[in-house]
Structure 1
Amino acid sequence: MKQLPLAKRGERLSILCLGAHSDDIEIGAGGTILSLIADGVLVDVHWCVLSASGVRAREANDSAVSFLQGAASYMIDLGQFEDSYFPDQSREIKQWLMALRDRVSPDVIFTHVRDDAHQDHREVNRLTTNVFRDHLVLEYEIPKWDGDVGQPNTYVPLTSNIMDRKVELLMKHFGTQRSKDWFDELTFKGLARLRGMECRAADRFAEGFTVRKLAITFK
């Protein structure tokens, strides 16, 4: 399988991470972020969680700080939109994202996959692609009981150490979620093992993404 690096060691890469809820970015793209930092890419990250308040806000902030340790720079934005009702808040969320667009110009955006079963996730995807029209967008997946795991077309292989670190940080920082039957090491490693199999990852693990549009140059 042909591999196209986002950036090489020592190169700078600007990243915008968008998540509806406090643990979404970490579940969907946390291994990729950890890998970029570990590989020596100088990542500048703007990490945005649209619904984070109370305990969940503290979890979101502390987790982001841990995942972004070693980044060249980072900014964490925590929104206050009401969980489970994003479609009803579409106008306000779009305005929030448009204001964000005026402040950042990322090389790559991580956001929810379009066909996610959660209404908040779908709305974030719809507005991401509506507001950020000239960017590389990688849509990440969130496993859940709805059974909506799809068929990604882009993969980021993960080392075993990165996979272990991702799970360790998820379980450490999201105490409010540990009582849920799906939030455990087996779920996260199981999905990553399947994605690793699909792209023949050397260490057997990978995160899967969907890319809708990509321009290739020959310079």
Structure 2
Amino acid sequence: MFHPSLTGLREVLCLGAHSDDIEIGCGGTLLRLIATNPGLRITWVVFSGADDEVRREEALRGAELFCAGAPEPTVHVEGFRDGYFPFNSQLKDRFRALAGAVNPDLIFTHRRDDAHQDHRALADLTWQHFRNHLTLEYEIPKYEGDLGQPNLFVPLDRTTAERKVELLNEIFASQRTRAWFTPDTFRATLRLRGIEANADGGFAEGFHVRKIVL
């Protein structure tokens, strides 16, 4: 099994449709990257929630806590309408501006086959505007049961996995009424991916990677 390194990174771009997407999809991996890449620059963009005070504050708090240890991450919370991303031409303009402003070593975005239309729209726009970058598509548990079969795994030790679960529960109080938004859901997903990755620590996050140039 090939084990590439995720050290030596200088800049990472994190893209999420909604407050909590980035944290759910790649929060544990970010905690690990920040710990092993001193001075890592992070640009964090949440594309909805600016007009909802609660969700905006959760998005900002999530970026703050998951990026703790990184030097002054750049955080944007946008105001695109939840559920309508595929029908908004201004979203593409925002991606054009973003592509001209950052040149990341690594991008985290939604999975192109995600059942949520906003997630799919962001994934498509990511690939349209960042063609020469290593892009990892993360997964979000949901009612549709569309997790798929990841082909790249980032192992996590138990401490990092538990920290991710703890932060999700702490930050996103507005989501606790949702049946799927529970510590058990997040811990189970991490454990399942840990089994598939044969991770020493027992936990992992899974990603879909479509193109790698060595």
TM range (shorter): over 0.9
- Matched residue, 2:146: 148
Paired with 2:164 and 2:140, the residues of 1 have a C-alpha distance of 14
1:94 aligns with 2:53: no
1:208 aligns with 2:210: no
Shift of 1:40: 4.4
Shift of 1:6: 1.7
2:149 is aligned with what amino acid? Q
Question: Does the CA-based 8 Å contact 1:43-1:73 persist in structure 2?
Answer: no
Shift of 1:37: 1.6
- Matched residue, 2:2: 2
1:51 aligns with 2:48: yes
Q: Where does structure 2 lack aligned partners over 5 or more consecutive residues? A: none
Paired with 1:71 and 1:12, the residues of 2 have a C-alpha distance of 12
- Matched residue, 2:130: 132
Paired with 2:72 and 2:209, the residues of 1 have a C-alpha distance of 26
Query: Secondary structure, in 3 states, of the residue corresponding to 1:42?
Result: coil
1:137 is aligned with what amino acid? T
Paired with 2:192 and 2:54, the residues of 1 have a C-alpha distance of 32
- Matched residue, 1:70: 69
For 1:18, which of 15, 18, 41 is the aligned residue? 15
Q: Where does structure 1 lack aligned partners over 5 or more consecutive residues? A: none
TM-score, scaled relative to structure 2: 0.96
Paired with 2:27 and 2:151, the residues of 1 have a C-alpha distance of 18
Shift of 1:63: 1.1
Deviations 1:22-78 (A, max 9, x none): 000000000000011223443110000000132100000011100000013410011
Paired with 2:117 and 2:11, the residues of 1 have a C-alpha distance of 28
Paired with 2:36 and 2:159, the residues of 1 have a C-alpha distance of 13
Shift of 1:124: 0.4
Query: Secondary structure, in 3 states, of the residue corresponding to 1:18?
Result: strand
Shift of 1:138: 0.3
TM-score, scaled relative to structure 1: 0.94
For 1:159, which of 157, 160, 169 is the aligned residue? 157
Deviations 1:139-183 (A, max 9, x none): 000000111110010000011000111011101110110110100
Paired with 2:27 and 2:39, the residues of 1 have a C-alpha distance of 16
- Matched residue, 1:84: 83
Shift of 1:12: 4.2
1:2 is aligned with what amino acid? F
Deviations 1:91-132 (A, max 9, x none): 211100110111111001000001100000000001110111
1:61 aligns with 2:45: no
Question: Does the CA-based 8 Å contact 2:9-2:37 persist in structure 1?
Answer: no
Question: Does the CA-based 8 Å contact 1:23-1:60 persist in structure 2?
Answer: yes
Paired with 1:138 and 1:46, the residues of 2 have a C-alpha distance of 15
Q: CA RMSD in A?
A: 1.0
1:35 aligns with 2:18: no
